Chain A
Amino acid sequence: MSALLEIDDLAVDFVREGRVAARAVRGINLELATGEALGVVGETGCGKTVTGLSILRMLPATARTSGRIVFDGREVLALPEDELRDLRGRRISMVFQSPATSFNPVFPLGRQLQHVAERHLGIGRRASERLVVERLREVELPDPERTMRLYPHELSGGMLQRAMIAMAILCRPSLLIADEPTTALDVTLAEQILRLLRSLQREHGFAVFFISHDLDLVGDFCDRVAVLYAGRVVESGPAAVMLAEPRHPYTRALLSALPRRGRPGTPLEAVPGNVPTGLEEPTGCAFAPRCPLAEDRCTSAPPHLAPIGAGRSVACYRWEDA
């Protein structure tokens, strides 16, 4: 089966005054099958959001992108503007981290969803209203007819995120990019939103590109996980096995830094050191300076992502010791 989304050697640099100011993504390969949920995990600055945005070509003008992104047989990075706009919101849509600012405060919620429906489906105001009510019901918002007339500030964060999801699934997309969709919400709300996303995904079969810094969350939600570090994939594989038995020291460090995994009474673990800044090009493994297992070869030549069986890949010389 061919992949729905194929990211091939994607690299993104940000330039300032003609010079490369930051290298956000340094050659990423990812694949996403129809209906699959892929978790993309890493610390701030590892390139996960940049990767997500480049699928929609939403990066700022200062970004220089290379590589290929193929969605449903079409080369996204080479697509003309108008075809790209037809893709956005209709075939590929996105749920943002902060629903509160993602709606225009001066319009009622429903109108903003209707705009999108009218734009993509070529339907009139009546039909779009019916569609919006239906979608708001699907995301389990109470009293959709009334809710759609409310202004964004009259809704709670959780309700807004549900509305955001309703907008994202308005045109039945085949790919949903979720950029930390629960980070701005309470823990209990986050659970509900995830449960909602999962049931919608099961029912409608869209693929999810799930960006998060929380490995546990991703493990619950996704079929496969890719861990990013300094703009590269360091480990990928099926979620369940990978989280039970991480093979890259960075994945391991991320997991033990989760409060839920720590034992009561023991100090919370942190990954020592910092993510390398966007410009320097390490001669070896980018994680080596923070890695407990680092040895000489780690700093002299970078390890490449290599399959280790069971659908897993790791970019580490010492994965067997991790």
Chain B
Amino acid sequence: MSAAADWASAAAAAPEARAGVLRALRRDPVALAASTLLALVVLTTLLAPVIAPYPGQGRGTADVAARDLAPGAAHLFGTDHLGRDMLSRVIMGSRPALGSAAAVVVLAVLIGVPLGLAAGYFGGKVDEGLMRLTDLFLSFPPLLLAMVIAALLGPSLVHAVVALAISWWPWYARLARTVAQSLRHAPFVDAARVFGVRAPAILARHVLRNALTPILVQATVDAGTVILAIGSLSFLGLGSQPPLPDWGLMVSDGRTTVLTEWWIATFPGLAIFVVALGFNLLGDALRDVLDPRSGR
């Protein structure tokens, strides 16, 4: 009973908190920096072909005459072993990075959240079955799974995304399960049952709505982690294949010459670092702002 009361008092502040989210985010300097940064990244992604000084080279066209040029006025980030402008490559590389991160997170949420909600709400055998399934998937090391899939189906960005989504959804299932468990006997859920509302409608309206906040926070933090993971897979040759502009692939290209042509590996590496950091900071800030117990 006390948990329900506690919950009710916390959630009573929800509508006001939501209205104030943007304001609260603006007040927090770290959150402000992170969201500005990510806004710029998203803008860059959308306008990549327009901003990139050499969009063709960004996509992969070689210019052998201009190989391995150090950063300078014509090429701010220098050029790679095939003479492609690194700035254009990094800018164009934001597309597969953000696209695959979004795809992995969306897939993981779509698979994990319904299963988790059902497990937590129905409990008993449903819960038992679904959670063992979840444990099964959690026991696959993501990189190993990606390698198996790459070996079976051939390496590609799509396969890497699928592999990551398969090993990622259990976390969302667990998260959604926790919320559903805490709400399955909330008075308003019982009230909905008393008034004849069906279980799917109760889950969709009453339980999911209350799970959205933690899911949003988790998804934001995860987007950064997925970008790192995709980078790792591409670096290992299990993700994007040349000539696709992928940051992990570029780091891999530049790794043998990192002491002489340092710019080839450094700038895409920095891009991964900055974007991942941005998502992490924004996720943390969102958690602080959206959690009514944090006392803002």
Contact = CB atoms under 8 A, between A and B. Distances in A.
Chain B associates with chain A:
yes
Interface in A35-60: 56, 58
> What's the dominant secondary structure at chain A's contact region?
mixed
A61 B122 CA distance: 11
A105 B190 contact: no
Contacts of B206: 104
Contact of B194 (A56, A98, A106, A119): A56
Contacts of B106: none
Interface stretch (A82-90, A210-218, A230-238): A82-90
Given A93-B195, A105-B12, A105-B14, A58 B188 contact: no
Contacts of A56: 194
B196 A89 contact: yes
A297 interface: no
A101 B15 contact: no
Contacts of A58: 190, 193-194
A107 B209 contact: yes
Contact of B198 (A85, A87, A93, A106): A85
B190 A119 contact: no
A167 interface: yes
A104 B188 contact: yes
Main secondary structure of the interface of B (DSSP, over half): helix
A152 B13 CA distance: 11
A252 interface: no
Contacts of B11: 105-106
B194 A89 contact: yes
Contacts of B187: 96, 98, 101-102
B188 A88 contact: no
Instruction: Categorize the interface residue count of chain B.
Output: 20 to 34
A319 interface: no
A318 B275 CA distance: 84
Nearest to A93: B195
A103 B192 CA distance: 9
Contact of B197 (A102, A103, A107, A116): A116
Contacts of B194: 56, 58, 88-89, 93-94
Contact of B191 (A87, A102, A107, A120): A102
Contact of B196 (A86, A101, A103): A86
B105 to A, nearest CB: 23
Interface in A64-108: 85-90, 93-94, 96, 98, 100-107
B4 A101 contact: yes
Contact of A120 (B4, B8, B196): B196
A89 B202 CA distance: 14
A102 B12 contact: no
Nearest to A53: B194
A115 interface: yes
A115 B5 CA distance: 24
A101 B188 contact: yes
A209 to B, nearest CB: 13
A119 B192 CA distance: 11
B205 interface: yes
Contacts of B201: 115, 119
Interface in A95-153: 96, 98, 100-107, 115-116, 119-120, 151-153
Nearest to A116: B195
Interface string A148-161: 00011100000000
Contacts of B205: 104, 107, 115
A148 B101 CA distance: 41
B216 interface: no
B14 A116 contact: no
Nearest to B189: A104
Given A85-B196, A101-B4, A102-B187, 20 more contacts: A88-B195, A93-B195, A96-B191, A98-B187, A100-B8, A101-B8, A101-B186, A102-B190, A102-B191, A105-B14, A105-B15, A105-B188, A106-B11, A106-B210, A107-B209, A115-B205, A116-B196, A119-B196, A152-B12, A153-B12
19 contacts: A88-B194, A89-B195, A89-B197, A93-B194, A94-B191, A94-B194, A94-B195, A96-B191, A102-B191, A103-B191, A104-B192, A105-B11, A105-B188, A115-B192, A115-B201, A119-B201, A120-B196, A153-B15, A167-B195
Interface of A: 56, 58, 61, 85-90, 93-94, 96, 98, 100-107, 115-116, 119-120, 151-153, 167
Across the A-B interface, give the 5 residue pairs with the lowest CB-CB distance, nearest first: A89-B195, A88-B196, A89-B196, A101-B187, A153-B12
